Amino acid sequence: MTDCAISIRPLGDRAFSLYWEGTVEIGNPASKARAIDLMNFPWLMETVAAYRSITFYMRGSDYSLRSAAERLIGVLDTLAEQTLPTPRQVVIPVVYGGEYGPDLSECARRSGVSEAQFAKLHSEASYTVAMMGFAPGFPYLSGLPGTLAQPRHDTPRLKVSAGAVGIAGNQTGVYPVTSPGGWQIIGRTDVPLYRPNAEEPFLLAQGDRVKFVSVDKFSEVKSDSKMRTVQGKGESRSLTPSTPLTALKVLKSGLLTTIQDLGRQGWQRYGVSVGGAMDRLSMRRANLLVGNEEGAAVLELTMVGGSYSIERDILVSICGGNLVPTANGASIPMNKPVFLSRGTTLSFGTAVAGCRAYLAIAGGIYAPRLLGSRSMDVRAGMGGGFGRSLTAGDSIGVDPYSSRTAKLVSKLRNKAREGVSGWSTVDWQAKVGEGGDFPRATYDRIPTGRILLRVLPGAEWDSFTVESRNRLVSGQYRIETNSDRMGIRLSGGALTRTNYEELESHGVVAGTIQVPPDGQPIILGSGCQPTGGYPKIAHVLSADMPRLAQAVPGDRMIFELSDIDQAEQAIRQQERELAILTAGIKTYGQRILEG
């Protein structure tokens, strides 16, 4: 494998992939990835191995992508490849066709065989887990007979059921959770591939051997909710630590309100999305304002915010989109710490600017950690304490806050008692900078309802026609209503390639602009899958992702071509602004405590 030619392909500004040309043995990229993990590079957050590539995800803003890639290339020949675990043999029963395999008939027609013959050929083959990705526990299986290869759907389905068995190109796989997807669905299994609460959450791992067995029916074909052993899906219950510190009760949940933090790091190799807050900049700012660690869990409120009964005196801050927050009917400010007394009703309306607001509570919102994060993964139906978005009747707890924050709470409590509103605040406010709480106004030359995003060329940029590349950076694309945390779907001038060959599945990141065969681009959001198979025409700069997170359906996107130097400079500028904010909060906080 080391004799093969190696190319470096940037994946936005905080990730890159090494690609090996020529013949690559299954498992070799995974063993190299393990060896690289053991080198403990300070810039390396995690690795994801694919068929003939390894994707490297970078941490922080102190290291440049170029220097990291060059350093890695320099040590490749010295690596001692790590042995992978002994492969297991796993048998998976499948009901082919009918309601469980809606694409089987068309697949069989393309392959020139009957449905029964297609199912027989598919189940007789032996498969190897070449990589994991796309969804938690999703196996990309090599070994598909060439005659059964199929193209992806021109337009991905918005919902593919958990357990669906599909084909895309020369690979087959099984959807562990209900999610969007563009594979041809030929059957379904009732075997859960992903069990988040189990000691070993994933049924399969790279290198395992898989055999499908055709069955006529299951004794009980499990529903989506039974396929996934999630935390309390559909239940309304309290979410408080062992020492109850209930902060608020949900009276009305809003459109989509979830618990989020900075996401799940280190699990992408198993297909688990990093997830976390869509607008991390606003989330971090909100936490800083109430004295929390930047990564403490918050509520992410989308478009319509709902209402909440305050169950104990708390200190909150609200950043991001303006969802018209009120306390007992009176408007309360954003971007500053606000004291709310017990018995107050905190309400939010419909967004008048932006899309998502972030509600931080001093101490941080409590939820059990699942795979290292408190975040709710909407697609996988896990985390966030409930395994779902919030509903009326849910109780939300908080962790204890610091003694310094306690002093500020005491000061503001006394101030609130002097009035009748039930709340009070400080006499200063955080300055909102580039990419902040009103992203539509960050470029004066862009009219309201139009959002400028800077982009870097993607790995398949050159495979698109010149007209398509020009169309992307000179035209406008409208955000559609079927957008979500996983992907922002756009409509506009179709983007076409000079060839339509199927790509091997590969790493993707939030901000990747994928182009399905219908030519309508999709910008991946924070809830995106770790891998994908559609061509990548471009990547949104990391520094511009908060702006994307605050876009709403109907807004029009304008793309501007940038370069890696500008991208990394923009990230460093954002971090400097946060450092200045942190210092300012400490200064003003100290003045209040001394006053």
Cβ atoms of 392 and 237 closer than 8 Å: no
Query: How far are the Cα atoms of 104, 308, 515 from residue 391, in angstroms, in the given order?
Result: 38, 11, 35
For residues 264 and 456, give the distance between their C-alpha atoms in angstroms, rounded to a whole number.
Answer: 25
CATH topology of domain 6-78: Gyrase A; domain 2 (3.30.1360)
For residues 211 and 214, give the distance between their C-alpha atoms in angstroms, rounded to a whole number.
Answer: 10
For residues 76 and 64, give the distance between their C-alpha atoms in angstroms, rounded to a whole number.
Answer: 19
| Confidence (pLDDT) at 149 | 96
CA neighbor of 432 nearest in space, from 523, 524, 527, 354: 354
Domain with CATH 2.40.100.10 in the chain: 89-227, 439-562
Cβ atoms of 163 and 189 closer than 8 Å: yes
Query: In the chain, which stretches have pLDDT less than 50?
Result: 1-2, 220-236, 242-243, 434-445
| Confidence (pLDDT) at 81 | 64
For residues 520 and 496, give the distance between their C-alpha atoms in angstroms, rounded to a whole number.
Answer: 9
| Confidence (pLDDT) at 233 | 41
> What are the contacts of 384-387 at 24+ separation with CB within 8 A?
384/258, 384/259, 384/260, 385/231, 385/232, 385/239, 385/259, 386/231, 386/232, 386/233, 386/235, 386/237, 386/239, 387/230, 387/231, 387/232, 387/233
| Confidence (pLDDT) at 31 | 82
| Confidence (pLDDT) at 5 | 81
**What stretch of H or E contains 455?**
strand 450-457
| Confidence (pLDDT) at 60 | 81
CATH number corresponding to 439-562: 2.40.100.10
Domain with CATH 3.30.1360.40 in the chain: 6-78
CATH number corresponding to 89-227: 2.40.100.10
| Confidence (pLDDT) at 215 | 94
Convert the pLDDT of each residue in 393-448 to its tens digit. Answer: 999 999 999 988 999 999 999 999 887 788 999 988 877 654 444 443 333 345 56
